[in-house]
Amino acid sequence: MFRFSSGPSKVLPKNFRGVAEKLFPHSRGKSSSIPSLDAAKNFARELGIGEDYKDLLKERDMNEFLERFQNNLDLLIQKTWVEKADEDRKNALLDKIPPLISLIENEKYPEALKEFGIILEELAYLFFGSQSQKDDFTEYTFRIDLEMGLFWWYGSMLGRSQNLDWTLKANREVQLSVLLLGICYLTNF
């Protein structure tokens, strides 16, 4: 699981705090807040996928997009070199993708967001090994690349189930828009 030594907002570079805290307002103690579509669009822009994300929201050709996502994620996972001991973990992650796609196709977005958070935790482990389990993981990814760090911060927020309480109150469009942020990022990775 992703961990933070000094709280989720403190690891964010100052230029990302405003947009990130609007997407996950509970990261600063506002548990009753629900993100807006504008918050998701602004986050996508900071993540470096703004235009692709806007196009996706307009097109709504989900089947084609989800197929591209699954193909790209499968390729990323398969091409990731891991120790022999982690091969089973890698295969288990590949097996988690079709159920995620099914949740999205069946518009079960709160469940899909939780499952996507679990997938991102496993993906981080495959990419970064035991570093992904350390308290300073998100800070570490920000030092590598700011947009990538922002993506893994987003993943850490999905990985914390208490950060997803808003999904039960939000409308489907908001739920889907937050989910599509990570899916769009990985599709274009």
Q: What is the mean pLDDT of residues 166-177?
A: 86
- Give the domain range for residue 124: 14-187
46 in a structural domain:
yes
Least confident of 38-42, 98-102, 113-117, 167-171: 167-171
Give Cα 107 to chain centroid, integer Å: 17
Q: What is the mean pLDDT of residues 119-132?
A: 93
CB 134 within 8 A of CB 152: no
pLDDT exceeds cutoff 50 at 187: yes
Least confident of 87-91, 126-130, 157-161, 181-185: 157-161
Average pLDDT, the chain: 86
State the total domains in the chain.
1
Report how far residue 9's alpha carbon sits from residue 153's, in angstroms, rounded to the nearest whole number. 9
CB 53 within 8 A of CB 43: no
Least confident of 23-27, 79-83, 92-96, 115-119: 23-27
Residue pLDDT, tens place only, 35-89: 889 999 999 999 999 999 998 888 767 888 999 999 999 999 988 888 888 889 9
Report how far residue 53's alpha carbon sits from residue 128's, in angstroms, rounded to the nearest whole number. 26
pLDDT for residue 158: 87
3 in a structural domain:
no
- What is the model's pTM? 0.88
Residue pLDDT, tens place only, 74-85: 999 988 888 888
Q: Is 9 exposed, middle or buried (0-12, 13-18, 19+ CB in 10 A)?
A: middle
176 in a structural domain:
yes
pLDDT for residue 56: 86
28 in a structural domain:
yes
Q: Return the H-helix or E-strand segment holding 64.
A: helix 62-79
38 in a structural domain:
yes
